[in-house]
A and B are shown apart, each in its own frame.
Chain A
Amino acid sequence: MTAVTGMLEKNYLWRIYWRLAGVIMVCVVIALAVVSYFSHRVFDRELVPETEQKAATVAASVRALILKATGYGVAFNELYGVEQTFGEVFEENPEFAYAAVTDLDGKVLFARGKEADQAREYFRRDTVRAVGLDPTATWIAAHVNGQYFISMPIASDKPLGILHIGIDGKFVDNVLLEVMLDVLVVLVVSLFFTLELLNFMAGARLASGLGEFGQQVDRMRSGDFTATARIRANDEIGRLLRRIDAAIDHLNVRYEFLVGELDDKLRAATGPRREQLRPAVQALESIRARFRFGSASKDSETDEMNLNRIRAPLFAFILAEEMTRSYLPTYVNQLLVPIPGLSPQVVIGLPIMLFMLIVALGQPYLGSWSERVGRRRAMLIGASIATVGFAATSLAINLYDLLLWRSLCALGYAMVFVAAQGYVLDRTGHDNRAQGFALFIGAIMVATVCGPSIGGILADNIGFRASFGVSAVMALTSLLAIARLPTLEVRTLTSQRPSRGPRMREVVALLLNKRFMTLTGLAAIPAKVILTGVCFYLVPLYIVSIGNTSAMAGRMLMVYAVMMVLIVPLSASLSDASMRRDRYVSVGLIISGLSGMLLLVSDSFLVLFGVVFLLGLGQALSIAAQSALVAEHCQEEIRIYGSDAVYGVYRLLERLGNAMGPLIASILVIFWGYQGAFIAISGMVLVCGIAFTIATRGMDWTPAPATS
């Protein structure tokens, strides 16, 4: 009950943000419509003549072929296989819809493709037939009922006939359709950018001020009138809070005065006077029982205001890394250097694996390191290293130095991630830790929605190297935002214990523990394997291998991220309420396992959208419940080794699963190709999911206290 009003005030602010964002989005949509309209006009005006010119060149080569055939003595109207040549023309030039050869009277001799309604009449027009008879004519263009025609005479030493090629009138629309998809992506990303920016620009003060207001209301409702010695800002909320402070102070002064007076009277009183004072004393007792006065204790202090500040820099930094997801494997492919003994497929996965490995191994140790040097400084160092990493990646010469630079990015990423986590831990107490982490995870998830899609679009248009440069700029921006974080380090009581990495013997002991490994080995690790294997390795490479663009890969990864953003909060609250977290994990795993099976149904790459959709759904269902399940499932182990160690090993193994994903995926590709790899990796996860369900069926579940 205590935190309810506080939450309401927080939601109020977000409701305002959504309304503002809605208004902004409507304006943006209108503006984009205007831009698209004008683009369409430009494309129409400029592209059509160019395409006609190309059609003329293609027609000239077809004509040369026809003349060669007639040169060998084949009669013009006895030519065979002209439609086959037309078919080849259509294949190489998909914007051509129709081709025909007519005789000098305009009668069609050979034709192929979609014929426009009035084409035949057009061929018989005098102006058109004149082209056939004029030896000096090059070609003419005309617009006939939705198709653009170019017509060219065929003549050896005497006129023979006329060649027509029809260009699909809608080809400009088709070209612009591809742009439309990207513009849609830009819209979605803009929406998320807007929310983040609003949050950033409105200032931490507003959010924290409202939050504190809510907290004050709750505290006072519960009878806590202790005075907090805080400095208030000079805006509306600040002034409001100051007035509340003043009211509390007045109360406290009254109370002190009354208590003092009573004490004096009690000391001076004797005998029957004492009896007279008794009701007053009782009243005081009852007041003391219901209310609290005085100064607030330090440990209820949480640094709400500064907590919010972490969101913007974290978002910017994670965005920088997420932007690379849709095109990194293709970039690696370009810089590939054959390594003897390793298949090229595996080599492509090496940078991703190395990245995940460094992040996995670094996390336990970076936690205590960032505590020692200070969270802000740790983040500054991490972001700087990552900036250098990104910039160097854009200039990479070949695979070897790429590995080095990606290691730098990984180091920086791990540093920032762990330090940001610690920052949140420092500034939250037990009651608002979940909210704090919701903020943390929220920033990351929004970055995973925006990053890959924008990155893919950039990569297609300005190239891989420049896109890494943009990531470097993004990391630099986050550096500036990190610099604005408070330099004063804060510790709340609950985070006083120093964190340490898991020790080797703990790792081994837990690895051999059946209960622990049921959860970790059958659920957590497979979930991460399919995540990195599919999203970071298979999707970008497969999409590009069938000739599609990085932007398309980015769109698919965006679908995955959107599913996570939508479903994780839902599944978190549902699984908390139902208390059968293991079911959520099972269902999530099985759905993830079925995702790749869609490729058995259809060959088209569009089915990949369904794959990432199901994958996102499955992952979202299981991920929220999984970590809470550790506390439930492994209570015995937590008792023996401590919750730190158990969670530490769990996370370590989970992240090693991250690193194994691309390796497993690449090996599967070697054996069965891309489609087979999708199916196989999903099959593996499906098997693990079923095994997990069977292993945990009928186990005794005791709800554990909620932990972070």
Chain B
Amino acid sequence: MGTIRVRFILVALVVSFFAVGMAAFLNYFKYKSTIGNIVKSRVLVVGRGIENSVQASLQLGMQFSELSQLPQLMQREKGTDRLVRGIDVFDYSGQVIYSTDRARVGQKVPATWTQAAERSKTTEWTADESDEFVAGISVKNAFDLTVGFLALRYGRDEVERAAATAGREILLAALASFLGIAIVAPLALIVVIRRFERDLRSLEAAASHLEDRQQAPPSSGSAFDSAIGHLRASLRDANTSLDELRAKLDAAG
């Protein structure tokens, strides 16, 4: 009977591992995405300020490639939030026209950026690089044609550090609860299993007395009583009939 116990306890452990694990996983991911969103919207506030200015210039008739005041503005805005690592402005072909980082001007942005911008249903989009996040705004002109894009690069460390701290704590809480279950659940289960085992034991005990012709052993209140009773009755019935036959045979000599 030991194996049944072990198996059921194993089930309890597996299921609680799944449930606690999923709950911890959900909390962690929710935290990570919330932090990610907060940081991203912070960065986008800076971005929108720049986009406003670009729009104003475009409205006045300036060409997208001639916004001479833009680099200064970008440097100023970058300074307002230490999180922002760099700001790029690039055209629809992916080529960087202005940037807070001189070296990047003239280079092409990764294709994932332009793809993300195209796929987005609004003017805001995001992309992931290996060591930083990118929050972007598409700049549309007066007849809704996209003339260019603004991309703000910001470090992953803030989000990841925060997520790691939270993750550690959540993991600890999860482990603690799991250990708690590992101790409590088997004890609770054993109470139920014992009843089950008791039923089976009484079954086995009754089975050894199946063919007893004497009075039945007292019913143990298990769920199998009626079944055992039927069994004994049927056997007794058959045996009685055979006894009669025996008697008649004997009587016949």
* Given known contacts A5-B230, A280-B249, A28 and B201 CB-to-CB distance under 8 angstroms: no
Tell me the residues in window 178-222 of chain B with beta carbons closer than 8 Å to chain A beta carbons: 178, 180-181, 184-185, 188-189, 191-193, 196, 200-201, 203-204, 207-208, 210-211
- The CA-CA distance from A676 to B30 in the complex, in Å, is 34
Chain A neighbourhood of B12, CB < 8 A: 20, 23-24, 27, 194
Cα of A64 to Cα of B246 in the assembled complex, Å: 113
Which of B85-93, B103-111, B232-240 binds A?
B232-240
Contact indicator B30/A46 (Cβ below 8 Å) = no
Chain A residue numbers with a CB within 8 Å of B65 are none
The segment from A155-163, A213-221, A620-628 that touches chain B is: A213-221
Question: How many Å lie between the Cα of A176 and that of B208 in the bound state?
Answer: 59
Residues of B close to A43: CB separation below 8 A: 31, 34, 166
The interface residues of chain A lying within 8 Å CB-to-CB of B130 are none
Q: Decide: A28 near B181, CB < 8 A? Known: A9-B227, A202-B7, A283-B244.
A: yes
Please, which residues of chain A bring their CB within 8 A of the CB of B211? 247, 250
Given A197-B15, A244-B207, A244-B231, the answer on whether A36 and B27 have CB atoms closer than 8 Å is: yes
Residue pair B16, A47 in contact (C-beta under 8 Å): no
| A50-B38, A255-B242 as given contacts; A28 in contact with B252, CB under 8 Å | no
In the complex, whether B147 has a CB less than 8 A from a CB of chain A is no
The one of B188, B191, B208, B245 that contacts A284, using a Cβ cutoff of 8 Å: B245
Which residue of chain B has its CB nearest to the CB of A172?
A: B34
CB <8 Å contact, B8 and A31: no
Question: Contact: B246 with A38, CB < 8 Å?
Answer: no
Residue B67, interface by CB 8 Å = no
Query: B49 to A64, Cβ gap below 8 A?
Result: yes
Counting CB contacts under 8 A, is A92 at the interface? yes
Q: Distance in Å from the Cβ of A292 to the closest Cβ of chain B?
A: 10
* Chain A neighbourhood of B191, CB < 8 A: 23
Convert A261-283 into 0s and 1s, putting 1 for each residue whose CB lies closer than 8 angstroms to a CB of B. 11001000000010011011001
Query: From A37, which residue of chain B is reached at the shortest CB distance?
Result: B173
Contact A202 B4 (CB under 8 A): yes
Contact between B34 and A35, CB atoms less than 8 A apart: no
A183 within 8 A of B: yes
Q: Which of B176, B200, B230, B253 contacts A34 (CB 8 A)?
A: B176
Judging by beta carbons under 8 Å apart, are B25 and A38 in contact?
no
Find chain A residues with CB under 8 A from B174 CB.
35
Whether a CB of chain B sits under 8 angstroms from the CB of A579 is no
Complex partner residue of B42 from A53, A213, A291, A461, CB under 8 angstroms: A53
Q: Are B192 and A38 in contact (CB under 8 A)?
A: no
Cα–Cα distance between A390 and B31 once the two chains are bound (Å): 29
* Stretch among A185-193, A416-424, A480-488 lining the B interface: A185-193
Give the residues in chain A near B60, CB-CB below 8 Å. Answer: none
Q: How far is the CB of B167 from chain A (nearest CB, A)?
A: 9
Across-interface contacts of A190 in B (CB, < 8 A): 15, 18-19
Q: Is the CB of A35 within 8 A of B31?
A: no
Residues of B within 8 Å of A12, CB to CB, are 223
Known contacts A9-B227, A27-B16, A28-B20: A46-B173 contact under CB 8 Å: no
Q: Which residues of chain B from 113 to 149 have a CB within 8 Å of any chain A CB?
A: 119
CB of A279 within 8 A of CB of B248, answer yes
* A279 contacts B170, C-beta separation under 8 Å: no
Per the 8 Å Cβ criterion, residues 155-214 of A in contact with B are 175-176, 178-179, 182-183, 186-187, 190, 193-194, 197-198, 201-203, 206, 213-214
Between A and B, 13 residue pairs with Cβ closer than 8 Å are A23-B188, A27-B184, A28-B15, A35-B23, A46-B165, A57-B42, A58-B42, A61-B48, A186-B23, A217-B227, A217-B231, A223-B238, A244-B231
Residues of B that sit less than 8 Å from A by CB:
1, 4, 7-8, 10-12, 14-16, 18-20, 22-27, 29-31, 33-35, 38-39, 41-42, 45-46, 48-49, 80-81, 119, 162, 165-166, 169-170, 172-174, 176-178, 180-181, 184-185, 188-189, 191-193, 196, 200-201, 203-204, 207-208, 210-211, 223-224, 227, 230-231, 233-235, 238-239, 241-242, 244-246, 248-249, 251-253
What 17 additional pairs, Cβ within 8 angstroms, besides A27-B188, A34-B177, A197-B11? A23-B12, A24-B11, A24-B15, A27-B16, A28-B19, A32-B19, A35-B24, A60-B45, A206-B4, A217-B231, A236-B203, A236-B204, A258-B246, A265-B252, A273-B252, A280-B251, A461-B25
